A and B are shown apart, each in its own frame.
Chain A
Amino acid sequence: MGFLEVRDLKVHYPIRGGVLNRVQDHVKAVDGVNLSIESGKTYGLVGESGSGKTTIGKTIIGLEKATSGKILYEGEDVTNKARSRNKKFENYNKDIQMIFQDATSSMNPKKRIIDVMSEPMRNYFNYTPQETKKRVADLLEIVGMNAEAMYKYPHEFSGGQRQRIGVARAVASDPKLIIADEPTSALDLSVQAQVLNFMRRIQKEYDLSYLFISHDLGVVQHMSDDIAIMHRGRFVEQGSKEEIYKNPQHIYTKRLLSAIPDMDPTTRAAHKVERQRVEAEYDAQETDYYDPKGRVYDLQRYDEEHYVALKPEEPNASLQNENVNTGGGN
């Protein structure tokens, strides 16, 4: 069992409309997801735009409310308790941090870096101003920046530097898990390499875990131990990196992987033929992999470290209900 467990999490947003602005329907942004996070590991979360990745992250840190399901931290039920002032949940708040999709816009432009970075420390530690300064300097050093940077404002840095400051801030409260939402999508290759190297370095040093959200399958492969592929608010496949990349089972995973650009121009034609073959296969077999309403099936254990959302075996449809196989990954 992991120190953080997400069980059958659902986050449904109401859609309002009509003259009375009544709730007419729901967007099932997250619709039954399980995660088990262990120390020192990186969990990649991949899926197309709108599949619910950010919503999972925000719900774990308490920026969105879970509609149903449970989040357990060190065995304690903390569902919808993050951000709560109750001392009882302080550790949870401190131990789980998030780097947002766009670090730049999540930084107050009028605050100096030292203020940006010392905020989480003020909340959780009783440092003297001297200690705070020392800690900020140390953190900046970890992400490869000079201590003088603390007296500057966000706009005085390049995008990559700001993103590194974002990482440093997330580390400031000494967390156990950092939810990193597309932390390098807006960055150039070399700057991305720099940020990814830092993230791996501090992971080793502090035994950090990451929930690494990205639509870049190359980056996810580089960073992750385990990977979950998300589609329409649910996981279509979950498992070790090796299993997912080398032995994908769900048609959606296959299609996603076949679309990763190939860095070798000499095999371009063959790669395109293969990709279009998988696309055609996806179109032909879509109904076998989703229920009649287009919903992703529940995950089933496929192998030791590999779960796939396949159509339940039993031909007797009346036996299939929500409680059968509510997912794996535990």
Chain B
Amino acid sequence: MAVERSLLEVNNLETGFRFGDVYHNAVDDVSLTLENNEILAIVGESGCGKSTLATSIMGLHDPKNTEIKGEVIYKDLNLLDLNEKLYNRIRGNDIGMIFQDPLGSLNPLMTIYNQISESLEYHSDLNEEQRRARVLELLNQVGIPRPEQIMKNYPHELSGGMRQRVVIAIALANKPPVIIADEPTTALDVTIQAQILDLMVDIQDETGSGIILITHDLGVVAETADRVAVMYAGQIVEEAPVEELFANPKHPYTRSLLNSIPHELEDDDDELHVIHGTVPSLQKLPRKGCRFAPRIPWIPEDSHEENPVLHEISPNHKVRCTCWKHFHFEGEDE
């Protein structure tokens, strides 16, 4: 009996960067699925491996200094086995990516029209006139005012928010079934952020695409995601439907993050929660044992697991390790 396959499946993905003769994994044994019509959010602190995960799916690493293991299954193909020519066809056509740095992904010497049109040219057989119509339609969709005029402009002539919308227009140009958006609204005003998130949801309603939304903003997650994967030091430590994650966070890292969100304090002497220490650099990552343990030093040594694995604790809610059952914040009772 054939099993219904997900739109995108990531199986045991490992991405290691070379330091001298050794590879250190920035993404370590990550497995994920993405369905049609779904927004999967990936959250975690800076350096946790979110962008590396995204660029690994897109096959965008320099093979000389990167070692990628595992599978990325799309339409029964393991993308990681494809040659560059086939991969190029997948990128943009099947998987659209919005990169973390919008300026860096626009060509400063090309007009907005030419940049969007170029990606249409590469992936579709529209003629010049159809392409022009499509570019206008896209710019309208992403809420760019006066598109006829703006499309003749160069990137530096646009505000940050407008450039971000152009980047989104390019990622969406060919209506890809999979969209990977890496911090698409970071650094934007809340009003523009809200517009862009609405737009992504609208486009999804229209095309049924699956979206991987990378962000460190838990508010954005709460407002848009269907499912959430929390990443710490290259691993997924918790995964759950969005309502479940906010109502019932289990992993100490997830609970710590939620506790650090600025809010109005009841008592003037109250403070925001701070997680001890920092995300370790790749070379300093513990090779054995639990990666988060050093950041909750008040938890006794013997209550950590040696090599914690993900457990499904209720339908679709997965948590790494079991010692969350005894976790408490410093100064709190067990």
List residues of chain A with CB under 8 Å of any chain B CB: 48-50, 158-160, 185, 188-194, 196-197, 200, 215-219, 221-223, 255-256, 259-266, 268, 271-272, 275-276, 279
Contacts and interface: CB of A to CB of B under 8 A. Distances in A.
B260 A215 contact: no
Nearest to A48: B189
A218 B263 CA distance: 6
B28 interface: no
A93 B257 CA distance: 39
B217 interface: yes
A75 to B, nearest CB: 30
B46 interface: yes
Given A217-B190, A259-B193, A272 B198 contact: yes
B242 interface: yes
B257 to A, nearest CB: 6
B223 A194 contact: no
B246 A263 contact: yes
A193 B273 contact: yes
B203 to A, nearest CB: 16
**How many interface residues does chain B have, given as a range?**
35 or more
Contact of B218 (A48, A259, A263): A263
Contact of B159 (A49, A259, A268, A271): A49
B331 interface: no
A95 B162 CA distance: 39
Contacts of A189: 45, 216, 218, 257, 260-261
B190 A271 contact: no
A265 B243 contact: yes
A193 B262 contact: yes
Interface string B4-26: 00000000000000000000000
Interface of B: 45-46, 159-161, 187-194, 198, 216-220, 222-223, 225, 242-243, 246-247, 256-257, 260-265, 271-275, 278
Contact of A266 (B217, B243, B273, B275): B243
Nearest to B241: A265
B269 to A, nearest CB: 9
A215 B186 CA distance: 11
Nearest to B264: A221
Contacts of A160: 278
Contacts, number: 108
Contact of B272 (A48, A193, A217, A262): A193
Contact of A215 (B45, B189, B217, B278): B189
A261 B260 contact: no
B222 A265 contact: yes
Closest 3 CB pairs of A and B: A261-B219, A193-B272, A222-B262
B222 A263 contact: yes
A190 B274 contact: yes
Contacts of A259: 189-191, 193-194
A254 to B, nearest CB: 11
Contact of B222 (A48, A268, A275, A279): A268
Contacts of A263: 218-219, 222, 246, 261
A261 B246 contact: no
Contacts of A48: 189, 191-192
Contacts of B219: 218, 260-263
B46 to A, nearest CB: 5
A275 B194 contact: yes
Contact of B261 (A49, A218, A275): A218
A83 B201 CA distance: 51
B7 to A, nearest CB: 22
B79 to A, nearest CB: 30
Most buried by A among B161, B223, B246: B223
B223 A271 contact: yes
Contacts of A262: 219, 222-223
B246 A222 contact: no
Contacts of A196: 262, 272
B299 to A, nearest CB: 17
B167 to A, nearest CB: 17
Contacts of B256: 190
Given A222-B272, A262-B223, 19 more contacts: A50-B159, A188-B216, A189-B45, A189-B216, A189-B218, A197-B272, A215-B190, A218-B219, A218-B261, A223-B262, A256-B191, A259-B190, A260-B190, A261-B217, A261-B219, A261-B222, A271-B223, A272-B198, A275-B194
